[in-house]
Structure 1
Amino acid sequence: MTNIHDVARLSGYSVSTVSRVLNHKDYVTTETRAAVQKVIDELDYVPNDVARDLSRGKTMTIGVILPNLDHPYFVQLIQGITKAAFVADYHVILLSSRFEAEIERTYLAAFRRKAYDALIFTSHGLPLAEIATYQKYGPIVICQPPRDSGLSAAYAHRRQTYVQALTTLKVQGCQRVALLMSRPIAVSETSQATAEAYRIVYGESPRPAMLATDVITMADGQRAAERFIASGQTFEAIFANSDDIAVGVQRAYQQAKLPVPVLIGQEHQLSGELAQFPTIDHHCQIVGQQALQLAVSGEKRRIAIDSEFINNW
């Protein structure tokens, strides 16, 4: 197999000169560059990326662990991460986890073996304390409040805008409010923030009958609303966890020929703008960009991005 030493021997130049030509560096004359390039072309030589990565001690790759791409939050987050990675000349590998702890452990084991220069957890199934033990192998960034884990974090500050949204509903006289969530309160930072905001505004914890979990897509939103309707429960408002999901809720009530409850969405999607729902913009792309920058720099920081309640009424 042809290597850089073959190119150097046949061209008559040093390995360092060949390396400068290959990496488009300065300090090489036009004549030298042309002579070396001629040999490279004749040999059809390309550098071995694996060997190059080993020599410089970096893969220039960031592993991004995410449960799915069904919810717009993760889509927008990945858009921010990949845009920032392009600017920083890093590659991004998406690592699907489905919130399964064992799968996440395999990614951490690969990280320990230097398969990635850093990891970003957009969400997680493992305890933060366990994830934090792998920081000795390189930078790990999470996209939620780090609590006392010691992990670097870039995340959306949610509770304040959740309180704003629910206060708006209460001021309008909405007392029976359903909450739609991706995951149960016990395991989700976002669901916990939603429930805490409800307690702040309404003075009590949300009851199980007013909650719907595993709601991720527009179809899930429609099914959740259909279950509410079938059970005979009536709600004056529904706080959905995306604008698309709110559209699914709206569809269920319209198809049942029932009055549509007041709806608030999240993630500031086109569907919400067209339907003129109030929404919450968590500025996920900015969160993703900040997470990538922390992963590349290795800086130990927590960066909270303020969310924005957009009231379209």
Structure 2
Amino acid sequence: MTNIRDVARLSGYSVSTVSRVINQKNYVSAATRAAIQKVVDELDYVPNDVARDLSRGKTFNVGVVLPHSDHPYFTQLIHGITTAAFAAKYHVVLLSSRYDADLELDYLEGLRRKAYDALIFTSHGLPLPRLARYRKYGSIVVCEHPHDSGIPAAYAHRRTTYREALAYLKQHGYQNIGLMLSRPIAVSATSQATADAYQAVFGQRPAAAICATDVITLADGQRAATDFIKRGFQFDAILANSDDIAIGITRAYQQAGRPVPFLIGQEHQLSGEVAHLPTIDHYFNTVGENALQLAISGATTNVAIDSTFIEKQ
């Protein structure tokens, strides 16, 4: 395999001069540049990116660990991350995890082996202290409140707007309220925040029976609502975990010939605008942009983005 030393030997110039030409640096005469370029073209030589990354100590790759991309939380985060990465001339490597702890450990070991300059965990199955152990090998950023883990974080303030949304329901006379959650309360920071807000507004933890879990897509919302109907729940309102999911809930009640409960969505999606749904906007694009900046800068700060409860779109 041709290397830079071959180009230097055949052109008669030093490796450092050849390197300046290949990397388009200044301080090389036009004649020298032309002579070296002629040899480069004849040998069809291209630099070895892996070797170059090793020499400069950076890959310009940021690994983004995500369990799936079916929910707008993840798609909006990824959009923000990739937009900021493009502007900073970094590459984004998407690392699917499905909350598999072994896979997440593999990605952390990749950081240790310098396969990435940084890892962003949009969500995770491993506990925060376990992630924190790998910070000595490179930058790690999470997209949730980091508590006392010491991990830099970019995340949305959810608890305030969850309380606002549930208080809005209470103020308007809604008492029998169902909750749509992506994961069980015991393992999800987002679900915990929803349950905490429910307790703050209604004075008690939400019963397990009124919490539908594994609700990620519109079809999941329809399935969960159908299950509520079959089990005889008579909700007068449901807090959905996306606008699309609220549309799925609407379909289920319409198909069953039942009145549709009052619905609040999340993530300010087009479907919610068309249906004029109240929603919560967590500005996850902005969260993603800040997560990328933390990852590539190595900053150890936390960036919390305020959310907005929109009463009607």
Q: Aligned partners of 2:259, 2:100: CA distance in 1, in Å?
A: 39
Aligned residue pairs, count:
313
Partner of 2:87: 87
Shift of 1:35: 2.3
* Amino acid aligned to 1:44: D
Partner of 2:151: 151
**SS of the residue 2:273 aligns to:** helix
Q: Aligned partners of 2:47, 2:309: CA distance in 1, in Å?
A: 51
Q: Aligned partners of 2:286, 2:20: CA distance in 1, in Å?
A: 36
Shift of 1:196: 0.7
* Amino acid aligned to 1:43: L
Partner of 1:165: 165
Partner of 1:134: 134
* Amino acid aligned to 1:111: L
Partner of 2:245: 245
Shift of 1:254: 0.9
Partner of 1:254: 254
* Amino acid aligned to 1:48: N
* Amino acid aligned to 1:86: F
- State how 1:1-313 maps to structure 2 within 5 Å: 1-312=1-312
**SS of the residue 2:280 aligns to:** strand
Which stretch of structure 1 is more off in the superposition, 175-184 or 6-15? 6-15
Q: Aligned partners of 1:157, 1:176: CA distance in 2, in Å?
A: 26
**SS of the residue 2:179 aligns to:** strand
User: Deviations for 1:247-299, whole angstroms, at most 9, x for unmatched residues?
Assistant: 00001011111111001111111111111111111111111111111110111
Shift of 1:13: 2.3
Which stretch of structure 1 is more off in the superposition, 192-201 or 20-29? 20-29
Shift of 1:33: 2.3
**SS of the residue 2:253 aligns to:** helix
**SS of the residue 1:235 aligns to:** coil
Q: Aligned partners of 2:251, 2:86: CA distance in 1, in Å?
A: 39
**SS of the residue 2:170 aligns to:** helix
Q: Aligned partners of 2:49, 2:18: CA distance in 1, in Å?
A: 16
Q: Aligned partners of 1:51, 1:74: CA distance in 2, in Å?
A: 33
Which stretch of structure 1 is more off in the superposition, 40-49 or 2-11? 2-11
**SS of the residue 2:304 aligns to:** strand
Shift of 1:14: 2.1
TM-score of the pair, normalised by structure 2? 0.98
Q: Which runs of 5+ in 2 are unaligned?
A: none
* Amino acid aligned to 2:132: A
Displaced runs of 4 or more, over 4 A:
none
Shift of 1:27: 2.4
* Amino acid aligned to 1:67: P
**SS of the residue 1:63 aligns to:** strand
Q: Aligned partners of 1:104, 1:46: CA distance in 2, in Å?
A: 34
Q: Which runs of 5+ in 1 are unaligned?
A: none
User: Deviations for 1:149-207, whole angstroms, at most 9, x for unmatched residues?
Assistant: 01010001100111111111111110001000000000100001101111111111111
* Amino acid aligned to 1:96: S
- RMSD of aligned alpha carbons: 1.1
* Amino acid aligned to 2:23: N
* Amino acid aligned to 1:178: G
Shift of 1:31: 3.0
* Amino acid aligned to 2:248: G
User: Deviations for 1:8-63, whole angstroms, at most 9, x for unmatched residues?
Assistant: 22222222222122222222333332222221111100001111111111111111
Q: Aligned partners of 2:268, 2:188: CA distance in 1, in Å?
A: 21
Q: Aligned partners of 2:62, 2:25: CA distance in 1, in Å?
A: 25
* Amino acid aligned to 1:132: A
Q: Aligned partners of 1:97, 1:212: CA distance in 2, in Å?
A: 23
* Amino acid aligned to 1:242: S
Q: Aligned partners of 2:34, 2:203: CA distance in 1, in Å?
A: 76
Q: Aligned partners of 1:35, 1:277: CA distance in 2, in Å?
A: 67
